[in-house]
Amino acid sequence: MERERRMKPDILDRIVIRMGDITQVEADAVVNAANSTLLGGGGVDGMIHWAAGSGLLEECRAIGWCPTGEARITGAYNLPARHVIHTVGPVYGVDGEDSPRLLASCYENSLALAAENGVRTVSFPAISCGAYGYPVREACRIALDTTLRFLGSHDLPEKVIFVLYSLRDYEAYREYYGEKRVEREEETE
């Protein structure tokens, strides 16, 4: 048991936080911050559809509506990935008290779809932190806590890459990740 624990990589080591454009990041699956129509839009959704090509839109149209907090999987077409996982984040202020639960569901459902589809590496943008107005400091806690909980009980995905488009978002994620590392070190002391 002790040996097994030592051989397993620490769940924090299965998380990567970086800046960049998610459409350029190679991963088995890329998560899209979509809206319920799944028909594309602005922000990262617009860039993913633009980079993937029209096949993605056709596949999304066939799927139809996706409720807030849920996720759907498609091919990735011209993106450097095998799948796109579309999830619909809450609109901060409109979804009210349900927002944290719905945002956590986005991560949980996306990770579950990734695991079911044999995804080893998956990249996430900061869901809801753009047009949907979620404060990144609150959102990154939900993103990291939910992901760590999921990774703690699943071998797949092996690696989760958070790709942040702005320095402000990147720093918020790094700061909270740093807190988690300190907590972890204190636990193992």
Residue 28 a catalytic site member: no
CB proximity list for 79: less than 8 A, separation 6 or greater: 23, 30, 48, 51, 52
Contact in structure between 68 and 96 (CB atoms under 8 Å): no
Q: Does 47 bind ligand AR6 (CB under 6 A)?
A: yes
What would the two tokens of residue 52 be?
A: 């993937």
Kindly name the residue from 45, 95, 155, 169 that is annotated as catalytic. 45
In this structure, how many other beta carbons lie within 10 angstroms of the beta carbon of residue 35? 20
Give least dist CB 158 to ligand AR6, A.
21
Q: Does 129 bind ligand AR6 (CB under 6 A)?
A: yes
Q: Does 128 bind ligand AR6 (CB under 6 A)?
A: yes
Per CB under 6 A, contacts with ligand AR6 among 135-164 are 163
Q: Does 89 bind ligand AR6 (CB under 6 A)?
A: yes
Contact in structure between 46 and 23 (CB atoms under 8 Å): no
Per CB under 6 A, contacts with ligand AR6 among 170-189 are none
Per CB under 6 A, contacts with ligand AR6 among 7-26 are 21-23
Edge-to-edge order in the sheet of strand 29-34: 15-19, 159-164, 121-124, 29-34, 83-88, 71-75
Q: Which residues bind ligand AR6 (CB under 6 A)?
A: 21-23, 33-35, 41-45, 47, 89, 125-132, 163, 165-166, 169
Q: Catalytic site residues?
A: 45
